[in-house]
Amino acid sequence: MKQLAFTDYDVIVIGGGPAGMAAALAASEKNPKLKIALIEREGQIGGILKQCIHDGFGLIRFKERLTGPEYAWRYKEMAEAKENIDIFLFTFLTKLKKEKDLFCMEFTNPEYGIFKLKARSLVAAMGCRERTDRQVNIHGERPAGIFTAGQAQALINLHGFMPGKKCVILGSGDIGLIMARRLTLEGAHVEGVYEIKPTPSGLSRNIVQCLDDYGIPLHLSTTVTEVEGRERVEAVKIAQVDKNMKPIAETEKRIPCDTLILSVGLIPENDILSSLNVSIDGRTKGPIVDQFMHTEAEGLFSCGNALHVNDLVDYVSESGKIAGEAAADFALNMMPEAEKLFPLNMSTGAEKLLPLKISNKTKKLLPLTISGKILYVVPQKIDTEAEGSIIFYFRAAEEMQNTNLSLKADGKIVFERKYEELKPPEMERFILPCEKLRGAEKLEIVLSESPQKGIDTSSEKKEVDNGN
């Protein structure tokens, strides 16, 4: 086994997907003297993007319509060009603990065997995992032919194998919708997409482009109740569900098929953080963070789909950039003054944003109270003494028309926006200067129905979103 030339890093990023690459790159650009390690368990950085060969990526970040591999390649080239970023491939994190002010980690890979690294700050960018058949309690045997949508996508796009010829898709998540189209294009017959909820889980544009354009039916308030077959899937039983999502017996039907593809939700991958006793938000399933993506564990930052599940990769990279810059700042603040040889490079590529900067004053974190029909908001806590702009991400808990979103500081509205339509699958985003919250003792965000109708916020939203 080779011997490591370097074991002590300023910043270590776990996960080489779009969030991790953006974080490592941002930390590198913050100060060229920082030593950064990017850890990836697969043989190439890029994460899920490597198998997402459809286009639509990068419209906000690069102002171009790119495929997933193209988007990943842009970041890969930028990261590999940085001399202060060491990239470890085929590398798995096996142990993680905090000793005094340092994160002490144990890894394994084929090149170095079992080895240890230390870091002043740590960025968690592990992404998310798919729910499996066992997590949705489908009855029957466990025959061949049951795949998650991501598994099916990898089989076709990376390995050139067809999962099956006659497919049923359970769940209307975006990857499932995209795979309905992909399977059809490759010659398979998709019997239909079945969604247990009364509304689709994926983006509206994917419903149109992946189902409607190809004549693939979408069945709402319907689920798979049983799988038939021992060696290979032979059929599935489907049934409509009531308002409590319980199958209605008299509606049960048998659908012959050889493949069941599951697109039933994503879960942020944070199991490895359990040793640090990180507080997890029950709504997002990711860590509780402030506007710097700083968790309640000192020096630990979270971003991308490990923080909350995003629907646009551009926003995954955006949160990675914020986390990377903040992690770099944290590491720099831990350095002895003699080691701070280079001036800080303030945030680049964010013309519409005021760069985030920790105040010299005592940090004052306030929890953000949620009221109304909001599924979640990130960040959950706000440093009211910081400077710069805060990016808020949120989802509505249900489909809503003509709504009003307001952020209140001590009961006074400091931000307000109206929306014609909100849907849970479509994450929303807004930006607020930190100074608007200075001195506040209580913060509350409220989403309520608005009496006004016909409000158009599209141009306002576009202008703000292009500030990435």
**What's 397's domain CATH number?**
2.60.40
Query: Which domain covers residue 223, as residue numbers?
Result: 132-264
Same domain, 241 and 137: yes
Q: What does pLDDT average to over the chain? A: 90
Mean pLDDT of 250-262: 96
Interval 126-138: pLDDT, tens: 999 998 877 677 8
Ramachandran angles phi, psi of 57, nearest 5°: -90, 145
Same domain, 378 and 436: yes
Same domain, 325 and 374: no
In a domain, 347, yes or no: no
- Residue 361's pLDDT is 57
Structure tokens at 293: 């993506």
- pTM for this entry: 0.90
CA distances from 364 to 15, 66, 104, 168, 323 (A): 30, 41, 28, 51, 19
- Residue 136's pLDDT is 73
pLDDT at 29 > cutoff 90: yes
Same domain, 162 and 254: yes
Same domain, 119 and 146: no
How many domains does the chain divide into?
A: 3
Contact 315, 305 (CB under 8 A): no
Distance CA 350, CA 168 (A): 43
CA distances from 52 to 23, 134, 260 (A): 21, 25, 20
pLDDT at 365 > cutoff 50: yes
In a domain, 52, yes or no: yes
Same domain, 235 and 319: no
Same domain, 416 and 455: yes
In a domain, 35, yes or no: yes
Residue identified by tokens 């710069």 is 388
In a domain, 1, yes or no: no
The HSE-up count of residue 304 (CA atoms within 13 Å, CB side) is 30
Same domain, 242 and 136: yes
Interval 144-191: pLDDT, tens: 999 999 999 999 999 999 999 999 999 999 999 999 999 999 999 999
- Residue 449's pLDDT is 86
